[in-house]
Chain A
C-alpha cells in the first residue's frame, strides 16, 4: 500500500463549477501538506502549503487538512479552463528533511 493515495482521475467539470480534490495518507508522521499544479510537460507549481489541521484559503483555492482522518483536500471555486492541469498532493514528515512524498496526481479538465 502506498503511503500517499490520490485518485488519478480524470476529473471533468464544467466551467464555473467547484473542483474537489483529495488525498489520503497512512502515516501519522506526515505533518506538512502541499498542493502543486502541473501543466503538461511543465514543472510542478506550488499552490498551497499547510502545517496544521483546518482550512487555509488563497483566492479561489481552499486547502483542508484533517489529521485525525489522514485526509487532505483542495477545492477550486469558479473553475476556469486554465485550471485544467494535473494536481499533485505532497507531504513531508517532521524528521525527513527535504523529502516530499507525492500522490500520483489527479488530472482535471475544465470544459468551457
Chain B
C-alpha cells in the first residue's frame, strides 16, 4: 500500500537552471496539493490540482513556478530559472476526493523533495 511518492528526494540546481519535482499520489487519489516549507517555517500552500485541472493556485508565485497533473503520470512542479530563495523542502499531498462540505478529506503527505540552489 504505497503512500505518496516524490522524486527526487534531493535536488541540487545552480542559479538559473530549471527544477522539476515529481509527485505520484496514493492509489485511488485524484487530488494533489503542493506545499513549500522554508527553514524554521511552517508549510505554505502553493497549489491544488485535480487531474488535468488547476483548482486553486493562490499560493503560487506569479513568475517562474508552474504545476500540472496530467491525465497519465505524476504531478509536476516546475521552477524555472531558480534562485537561492527557492531553496526549501517541497511537499506533495494527495486526497481521494475534493474538499466537499462535511466529508473527511484528509491530505496525506509524501516525504518531500529538498531543493538546494547553489
Instruction: List chain A positions with a Cβ less than 8 A from chain B.
Output: 4, 6, 8, 32, 34, 36, 41-46, 49, 51, 88, 90, 92, 94, 96-105
The contact of A102 among B42, B98, B104, B112, by CB within 8 Å, is B42
Q: In the complex, which range does the number of interface residues on chain B fall in?
A: 20 to 34
Residues from chain B with Cβ under 8 Å of A99 in the complex: 33, 45, 48, 56, 58-59
Interface residues of B in 11-48 (CB under 8 A from A): 31, 33, 35, 40-45, 48
Q: How many A-B pairs with Cβ below 8 Å?
A: 72
CA distance A101 to B43 in the complex (A): 8
Asked if B81 is at the interface of the complex by the 8 Å CB criterion, the answer is no
Q: Is the CB of B33 within 8 A of A98?
A: yes
Identify 14 new A-B residue pairs, CB closer than 8 A, beyond the known A46-B109, A97-B99.
A8-B40, A42-B112, A43-B112, A44-B43, A45-B109, A49-B106, A51-B104, A96-B99, A98-B95, A98-B99, A98-B105, A99-B45, A101-B45, A102-B42
Q: Is the CB of B55 within 8 A of A44?
A: no
A41: B residues at CB distance < 8 A: 112, 114
Chain A residue nearest in CB terms to B4: A43
Nearest opposing residue in chain B for A98, CB measure: B48
In whole angstroms, what is the CA distance A46 to B98 when docked? 17
Check B45 against A34 for contact (C-beta < 8 Å). no
